[in-house]
Amino acid sequence: MLFVAPRSAWTVLDDWRGALGLRGTGSNSIRMDQARIPAHFTRETSLLDLPVEGGSVGSKLHGNPMYAGRAPSFFHGELAAVMIGTAYAAADEYARIVAARPLLLEPDRTRADLHDYQRHLGEALGVIHLAEAALRQSAEDWMEACRRNVSGEAPFTVVEDNRLALTFLNAGRMAWDVLQGILFRTAGSRHARDGERMQRYFRDAATYWTHVGPSMYEPLVRRVGCDTLGLPSEHIALIP
């Protein structure tokens, strides 16, 4: 069941300050004690399977088909966008780091002159660019699915939702892999200290990696496999 709770019914808990990363997101918990929710503030449906066929209240109200899209793929697109932006920021910081770090035995040269660090940066950027391309194309596909759904050309199906969600998730995973596996790993331990930008980018990305979104990878790949084989997949729970 989905519901809207009146502001008087809940209290925000100050329990986010100790998070490893993404400290500015304010993902605090809330507490509801003996709260009463009016029946007209409720809807018997799942957030992961909102009925949007033919349009929604939002798409009719705002005249925008975006409000008639399925939620899981949209959520994964949001997460992927944040991760790719973080990976780009880490690549910028990496370029600054290697250009400013003198070589121990040749202080008139920097790490930017070494082939290995040039290769590290180029490899990382190649993957980040690929992840961004996948993100942008999938976002266009998502909007097209919304448009066709509202126009009545074709419903926005769970099968399409699964496909787009998995593509978004893979884009986010690609950004995480190069951030932690190339950029953070080869930037040097001094940049893992408190106050260093590279450390913050790593912490933020690592916190994404603990989010419920990436944990949906295994059920999503199974769903897409079943969809392709013509087998039912909606019984495969995305969240344990």
What confidence tens digit (pLDDT) does each residue in 144-159 have?
999 999 999 999 999 9
pLDDT band at 218 (very low <50, low <70, confident <90, very high): very high
pLDDT band at 80 (very low <50, low <70, confident <90, very high): very high
Give pLDDT, residue 127: 98
pLDDT band at 175 (very low <50, low <70, confident <90, very high): very high
Q: pTM of the prediction? A: 0.91
What is the C-alpha to C-alpha distance for residues 124 and 130, in angstroms, rounded to an integer? 10
Give pLDDT, residue 236: 95
- CA-based R_g, the chain, Å: 22
Can you tell me the mean pLDDT for 3-24?
91
Give pLDDT, residue 48: 84
Give pLDDT, residue 220: 97
| pLDDT above 80 (res 121) | yes
pLDDT band at 18 (very low <50, low <70, confident <90, very high): confident
The owner of tokens 């690929």 is 130
Give pLDDT, residue 30: 95
Task: Give me the amino acid identity at 196.
Answer: E
Give pLDDT, residue 49: 83
Closest of 199, 196, 153, 157 to residue 179, by C-alpha: 199
Give pLDDT, residue 26: 83
Say if CB 178 and CB 87 are below 8 A apart. Answer: yes
What is the C-alpha to C-alpha distance for residues 193 and 183, in angstroms, rounded to an integer? 15
Closest of 19, 184, 181 to residue 89, by C-alpha: 184
Give pLDDT, residue 182: 98
Closest of 23, 11, 2 to residue 207, by C-alpha: 23
Secondary structure class of 30 (helix, strand, coil): strand
Say if CB 181 and CB 187 are below 8 A apart. Answer: no
Query: Measured in whole angstroms, how far is the alpha carbon of residue 32 from the centre of its chain?
Result: 28
Closest of 88, 179, 161, 172 to residue 135, by C-alpha: 172
What is the C-alpha to C-alpha distance for residues 123 and 126, in angstroms, rounded to an integer? 5
pLDDT digits (tens, 9 = 90+) for 38-64: 999 998 888 888 889 899 989 999 999
From residue 17, give the alpha-carbon distance in Å to each of 26, 87, 90, 125, 205.
8, 23, 23, 32, 17
